[in-house]
Structure 1
Amino acid sequence: MAARVDSWIWSVRLTKTRAQAAAACRAGHVKVNGERAKPAQPVKPGDEVRVLHGGRERIVEVRELHTKRVGPPVAAEAYVDNSPPPPPREHVAVAAVRDRGAGRPTKRDRRELDELRGVRRD
């Protein structure tokens, strides 16, 4: 027996919606056994599924097939998570924050922000 990869990704809660799962497949962010997957590609127990979602790659091995969305405890048993741990929060880049009510940035402020981000405008 097999299930559609987009349906399975959604049912085991790797994405919030089935539409997001299908869009990730169409965009090439889902791979089954190392090959790029279309939304209707079947998966079976033992397959390795790689999903790039939210800036993080999840590497999971299929253990159980589900086509309907299941609760978190059941979803956790449906796959083996072989993903690398997420980076610590200290290593994530901090976004520039402007004071509330500071108004629109001036040309000088914008140039400083662009320099901070590494964006070059000529």
Structure 2
Amino acid sequence: MVTPAPASTGFSETAQARVDSWTWAVRLFKTRSAAATACRAGHVRVNGVPVKPAHTLKPGDEIRVRVNGLERIVIVERLITKRVGAAVVSQVLIDKSPPPPDPGLVAALPRRDRGSGRPTKRERRETDRLLGRAED
């Protein structure tokens, strides 16, 4: 008699996982090389400490990732190295990220071209008025 194979859970669990591999597997980054580059640039912190791509994770670690100007905070529940579907990600991590800023507020903030110098006095007054700061 042949016994049926156990149902696949969608991911393979391992004893160790590198931080760049794990962040890629849970879809925080599009590619593993992008995850490794972010680690080298200091945009990935594990338990408050910037780490290299080869840092090994353990369940319970808090990972803070800076992606596209937003900070993602996740807690490792399970270690995986293979990329999984978006539905399975919720079983692997706990997302403690703050909500994104209101799009209306972000659009209302004045923008300056990068490298265009310091704001003028008029631009500073407009920014203060927009942010509700009292004028002295």
- TM (norm. structure 1) is 0.77
Q: Which residue of 1 aligns with 2:77?
A: 63
Q: Deviations over 1:36-90 (max 9, x none)?
A: 1100000111000000011100010000111010000111221101111000110
Unmatched 5+ stretches in structure 1: 97-115
Residue 21 of structure 1 deviates from its aligned partner by 0.3
Q: Which residue of 2 aligns with 1:101?
A: none
Residue 95 of structure 1 deviates from its aligned partner by 9.3
Tell me which stretches of 4 or more aligned residues in structure 1 moved more than 6 Å: none
Q: Which residue of 2 aligns with 1:105?
A: none
Paired residue total: 102
Which of 79, 84, 87 aligns to 2:101? It is 87
Which of 102, 109, 117 aligns to 1:120? It is 117
Query: Is 87-96 or 65-74 further displaced after alignment?
Result: 87-96
AA aligned to 1:89 is P
Q: In terms of Rg, which structure is larger?
A: 2
Separation in structure 1 between the aligned mates of residue 117 and residue 71 of structure 2, nearest angstrom = 29
Which of 23, 30, 34 aligns to 1:9? It is 23
Decide which structure has greater strand share: 1
How many percent of aligned residue pairs carry the same amino acid? 57
Residue 94 of structure 1 deviates from its aligned partner by 6.0
AA aligned to 1:52 is R
- TM (norm. structure 2) is 0.69
Which of 47, 50, 58 aligns to 1:33? It is 47
